[in-house]
Structure 1
Amino acid sequence: MTTTSWVDGADAGPFGLAHLPYGVFSTTKDPAPRIGVRIGEQVLDLRALATGTFFLPWIRPAFHEQGLNGFMAMGPPAWRLVRHQLTELLADRRHADQSATLLTPASKARMHLPFNVADYVDFYASEEHATNLGRLFRPDSDPLLPNWKHLPVGYHGRAGTVVPSGTPVVRPRGQRKSKDGPIEFGASARLDIETEVGFVVGVGTELGTPVSPDAFAEHVFGVVLVNDWSARDIQAWEYVPLGPFLGKSFATSIGHWVTPLDALAEARVAAPVQDPAPLGYLQETERFAYDLSMSVHWNGTEVSRPPYRGMYWTPAQMLAHMTVNGASLRTGDLYASGTVSGPQPDQRGSFLELTWGGRDPVDLGEGGTRTFLEDGDTVTITATAPSAEGGTIGLGEVTGTILPALD
């Protein structure tokens, strides 16, 4: 099958035929949200395509929905069939004239949340991130707590505060306590980011049915970039003994475009060796991670390049642990990796780490210096991955700007 598209400019960019991510968009002329697939700087309208006879009859209804959930629930056979059909359509020039009428310039598309989020779980899968935080918070003891290398630590977030890229983030308020000061209520003064990779569940399970790590690709539809905004001062006071709550539940941003797992086939790499070996339910026949090169821009200045490939706990292990107690999966479940950080200082995926707790300000050039986020600051997270024939794809970015706290 050819790897070039008749869509102008698609082959040279991050959204070529090897990618084809799914999203939900509308236009000024047609404000009803509908599913599209990104090709170059265009969005192919799948609702319009499904109005004809292009897709099989049992698949067409899914593309008349206003979100991806119906299509995601159909499972891998439908995912692969549609991907194959779309690749042929966008590669074969015989379809160019007719199909070009179904394209909308990405610049004119208003993007929406790509799927209805059922549940949201956030993990803590980077050994470097967990070690950095341990050194910051527990300088006189082992940075990793005893359970960390035996299970993927995580917590349940609020699905209702997952928002699409570009949604402004209002500075949260809550209780805070300085080391020697009184308890106060007010706006967070230590607002932070977490650079993460999210995994979107397509196929659900029955309550009481664990999922093996080897069944990862049977349930997970695709990947989105995630910024799990964090109010570190609120979090520090409230998290003992039950963990994150108001310090993280005010907003979690995700990218507009969901990258199918098949688009990341060339990005699979061996995951780090685990010592000690995990318990049986976390052991994988083929232990793999994804070679995602991430980048964090703070007010336009690149401040970090976290590498996802070194994450200690894999997405398959996170899925297995999340369900081992019998918890069910639902279409639209989102689980995220936790902060992606590497071994080098310029690979840290949170500002808490980059500034070492606020001790070392980050230089933003003409934008001055920062320790934590100020009102008006904008953060953008991007990522690239290897694709077929030595090329690369670019995952849909996630960006957000901080607004002042409400009075």
Structure 2
Amino acid sequence: MSVLNELQATLDVSRKSWLEAANDPACDFSIQNLPFGIFSDARNSAPRAGVAIGEHIVDLAVLQASELLRLPGAGAGASAAVSETVFSRATLNDFIALGRDAWRSVRIQLSHLLARETATLRDSAGLRERALVPQAGTTLHLPVQIPGYTDFYSSKEHATNVGSMFRDPKHALMPNWSEMPIGYNGRASSVVVSGTPVRRPNGQLKLPDQERPVFGACRKLDIELETGFIVGRGNALGEPIACADAEAHIFGMVLLNDWSARDIQQWEYVPLGPFNAKSFATTISPWIVTLDALEPFRVAQPVQEPQPLEYLRHDGAHAFDIALEVRLRPQGVQEATTLARTHFRHMYWTMAQQLAHHTVSGCNTRVGDLMGSGTISGPTTDSYGSLLELTWNGQNPLALKEGGTRTFIEDGDELTLAGWCQGEGYRVGFGTCSGEILPALG
């Protein structure tokens, strides 16, 4: 069987796992998914590579040491002879750098090992006990070392809403918005993994009734419901990535919350754009879902008018059928309120176009670079991806399930993003991306 046929077999909707929890149609981590991450547990405190399946994590280092998992080019016995492997390291960068053949080979091998009919791991109690770690009780870490982080502004609905709010609604979009993916370079150093508390930032605030700004804690703290993609193959300085080739450079996708201090941003963004309003924290989900796992959910992107310039053109469908949610849970409250439901398929600019535009000047990218989609908003008022839009800059407070309202985020609030693709009897999910807000210092 060819590699492409084997890869296609990993997506077979009839394939089930001997780990029964993975076969639940509402389980994010089906055998068709197999997302990569970094974890540790009480038994082994060293962060290492794993793949989520059902309610467990497969310890890839254990499988490689047991010679049940081989990387392309590794001869028989080579895995056992090496004490430190790419899977025993604290980030996925070295594994990702091996290239798409390696990613796909590992996916094919794992899909076979975890399939219901394969006895190798299923019937070996000792090996199964060492290689399968219950997700409950594990610590999930930032999955990659991120050399650089860029955030785009690629939802037409979001850009139109913000432009209408702060400028003339008839000229909500700037003239360049429909010609290229707008973006800015953010702070890679403040990207954190889901579950990391986020401290409310301080900064300059320009109040409408005062001539000069004041210094203080952000009063309009917001989320931005986004996805992000991880660069799997970089490009050399001066050598752009063609739009048609861009997806081959992408390892996979995560959920991303680009926390935003709206009042700090409104004062500082002219003339050079966001700075302190965005740099204090960006949260990503711990599991990276590969593009191969997302392939069955590929759909057409919105029609682009005017037709993009030649370097931004690609044939075929380049959006994905990913459902997205935002939930808010105040401190001391049991049940979260779902604030919005939206969809990745609404994104005007595709990931391929974002990467092609990012590199067209000759800018180089590196393995592990993170590219944010920008806030994802849909066409209806309950599908907006930020509180700025959902409350229309605080004018329309949102009612919470267990009482109270919100215009922007309060201290102690926990914000959670969720995302998944729903297949026939199975799900390819991202897990969640969450963070609790701590009070500002001082």
TM-score scaled by length of structure 2? 0.90
- Asked if residue 16 in structure 1 is aligned to residue 37 in structure 2, the reply is no
Distance in 1, matches of 2:403 and 2:193, equals 26
1:172-205 deviation line (CA, Å, top 9, x unaligned): 0000102232310000000000000100011111
Secondary structure of 2:63's match? helix
- Asked if residue 404 in structure 1 is aligned to residue 433 in structure 2, the reply is no
- Conserved 8 A contact 1:207-1:326: yes
Q: Return the letter of the residue paired with 2:21.
A: G
- Asked if residue 41 in structure 1 is aligned to residue 67 in structure 2, the reply is no
- Conserved 8 A contact 1:73-1:204: no
Report deviation, 1:211: 0.5
Distance in 2, matches of 1:38 and 1:206, equals 33
Secondary structure of 1:35's match? strand
The ranges of structure 1 where at least 4 consecutive aligned residues each deviate by more than 3 angstroms after the TM superposition are 57-60
- Asked if residue 100 in structure 1 is aligned to residue 128 in structure 2, the reply is yes
Report deviation, 1:10: 1.1
- Conserved 8 A contact 2:50-2:60: yes
1:62-95 deviation line (CA, Å, top 9, x unaligned): 2122111011111111111110000001111342
Distance in 2, matches of 1:287 and 1:317, equals 12
Which one is further off, 178-187 or 394-403?
178-187
Distance in 1, matches of 2:57 and 2:70, equals 21
Report deviation, 1:52: 2.5
Q: Return the letter of the residue paired with 1:357.
A: N
Instruction: Report the counterpart of residue 87 of structure 2 in structure 1.
Output: 63
The 5 Å alignment of 1:291-370 reads: 291-299=321-329, 300-370=336-406
Distance in 1, matches of 2:198 and 2:431, equals 19
Report deviation, 1:386: 3.4
- Conserved 8 A contact 2:247-2:351: no
Shift in CA distance, 341/140, structure 1 to aligned 2, threshold 3 Å: closer
- Conserved 8 A contact 1:149-1:276: yes
Q: For 1:274, which of 284, 304, 318 is the aligned residue?
A: 304
Shift in CA distance, 150/44, structure 1 to aligned 2, threshold 3 Å: same
Secondary structure of 1:295's match? strand
User: How many pairs are equivalent?
Assistant: 406
Q: For 1:259, which of 289, 296, 310 is the aligned residue?
A: 289
Distance in 1, matches of 2:433 and 2:87, equals 24
Q: Return the letter of the residue paired with 2:402.
A: E
Distance in 1, matches of 2:103 and 2:41, equals 26
- Conserved 8 A contact 2:146-2:188: yes
The 5 Å alignment of 1:118-197 reads: 118-139=147-168, 141-181=170-210, 182-197=212-227
- Conserved 8 A contact 1:50-1:64: no
Q: For 2:430, which of 371, 395, 398 is the aligned residue?
A: 395
Distance in 1, matches of 2:169 and 2:133, equals 57
1:266-310 deviation line (CA, Å, top 9, x unaligned): 110011110000000000022420111101101110010011101
Provide the aligned C-alpha RMSD in A: 1.3
TM-score scaled by length of structure 1? 0.97
Distance in 1, matches of 2:298 and 2:169, equals 38
- Conserved 8 A contact 2:28-2:431: no
Distance in 2, matches of 1:345 and 1:56, equals 49
Report deviation, 1:365: 2.4
Distance in 1, matches of 2:266 and 2:121, equals 57
Q: Which runs of 5+ in 1 are unaligned?
A: none
Distance in 2, matches of 1:140 and 1:51, equals 61
1:318-363 deviation line (CA, Å, top 9, x unaligned): 0100100001110000001000000000000000000001000011
Distance in 1, matches of 2:87 and 2:254, equals 20
Instruction: Report the counterpart of residue 19 of structure 2 in structure 1.
Output: 7
Report deviation, 1:54: 2.4
Distance in 1, matches of 2:316 and 2:147, equals 29
